[in-house]
Amino acid sequence: MMSLSIRPFTASKFAAEVSGIDLTKPLCREQIQAIDEGMDQYGVLVFHEQRFSDETQLAFSRQFGELEFSNGAELYKERRLQQMELADISNLDPAGRLRPATDHMRLTALGNRLWHSDASFRAIPAKYSLLSARTIPGTGGNTEFADMRAAYDTLDDDLKAGVADSITEHSNAYSREQIGIPKAEYGEENQIKLKPVRQRLVRYDSRTGRKSLYLSAHIGAIVGWPIPEGRMLIRELIEHATQRKFVYAHAWRQWDLVVWDNRTTMHRARRYNDLHDVRDMRRTTIRGEGITAEQTQEAA
Ligand code: OGA
Ligand code: MN
């Protein structure tokens, strides 16, 4: 068996590079456990040269839990990728052509450039996301990650106390609204999927004993607060959490697999020339383990 080694990037302590493992082959229990422990310790793990097919990516991902269906699959009929558990993070249409400037899927996908946590708009939000780079653009198109445990730890004490029990409302509609896409565009039949869900603003992780700020562009309100006041606090917290000292910027190589924990990190896509260069990434997403709003907070 190859020996897996995990080495943090010197500049960002919550992201690490893993070597000595081929994820496209079946793994043993110890290897899965080592990856889970690495995810608990860090929050972002980078693996190079993982030449996944859709099938091997799905098989690898299933070893970490139940997979989510991709949101695009639910909101739109047209699909390029066959499996519902694969989110198509690309600028291609079902025929494999670049999407034109006014394409509605292209425009909604721009929402990925807002800082977010995947599927925070679902009652049971995502645990890990696994993003495989199949084709990368010539320049641009980095993905940035922010360390939400460090963000929590460095809050002022009065702010920590002020948000300790806060509950937020998340909906895809709120993030889309920020880039000017109205709710109505999703049609009558999808309105139910835009209904806000409640999440804790501060999450506690019993495995590591650490707390994290659970922020996302999908947040539109803090329960019990006037809307503008809630939104301004969320904006302030996102600014705090995404200071450069808490951010790891991933510059992709083809066949990278990056795994992140949506409970302890946020992320965003960066701009690239998407009308000209192909960027084909495929994401599998592991379902979380429970409803965060019902989670109890251990004493700090
Ligand atoms: C995602 C995502 C960012 C990117 O796959 O969930 O937000 O850089 N991707 O494509
Ligand atoms: Mn995302």
CATH number, domain of 71, equals 3.60.130.10
User: Ligand 2: distance of its center to the CA of 280 in Å?
Assistant: 14
Best mutation site among 69, 131, 176 for ligand 1 pocket (most ligand atoms within 8 Å of CB): 131
pTM: 0.96
Structure tokens at 47: 């693996």
pLDDT reported for residue 2: 59
Structure tokens at 243: 């200071």
State how far the Cα of 43 lies from the Cα of 36, in Å rounded to an integer.
10
Q: Looking at the DSSP assignment, which residues form a beta bridge with residue 267?
A: 116, 145
Tens-digit pLDDT string for the chain (300 aa): 558 999 999 777 899 999 999 999 999 999 999 999 999 999 999 999 999 999 999 999 999 999 999 876 555 667 899 899 999 999 999 999 999 999 999 999 999 999 999 999 999 999 999 999 999 999 999 999 999 999 999 999 999 999 999 999 999 999 999 999 988 888 888 888 899 999 999 999 999 999 999 999 999 999 999 999 999 999 999 999 999 999 999 999 999 999 999 999 999 999 999 999 999 999 999 999 888 877 665 544
- The reply to whether ligand 1 has any atom less than 6 angstroms from the CB of 119 is no
* Within a domain: 292: no
pLDDT reported for residue 76: 60
Domain count for the chain, please give it.
1
* Within a domain: 296: no
**Structural domain boundaries, residue 251:** 5-287
* Within a domain: 294: no
* Within a domain: 161: yes
CA diameter of the chain: 57
- The reply to whether ligand 1 has any atom less than 6 angstroms from the CB of 131 is yes
* Within a domain: 293: no
- In this structure, the residue with its CA closest to atom 3 of ligand 1 is 269
- The reply to whether ligand 1 has any atom less than 6 angstroms from the CB of 71 is no
Phi, psi of 21 (to 5 degrees): -150, 135
* Within a domain: 295: no
* Within a domain: 49: yes
Q: Looking at the DSSP assignment, which residues form a beta bridge with residue 128?
A: 261
* Within a domain: 76: yes
Please report which helix (H) or strand (E) contains residue 146, including its range. strand 143-147
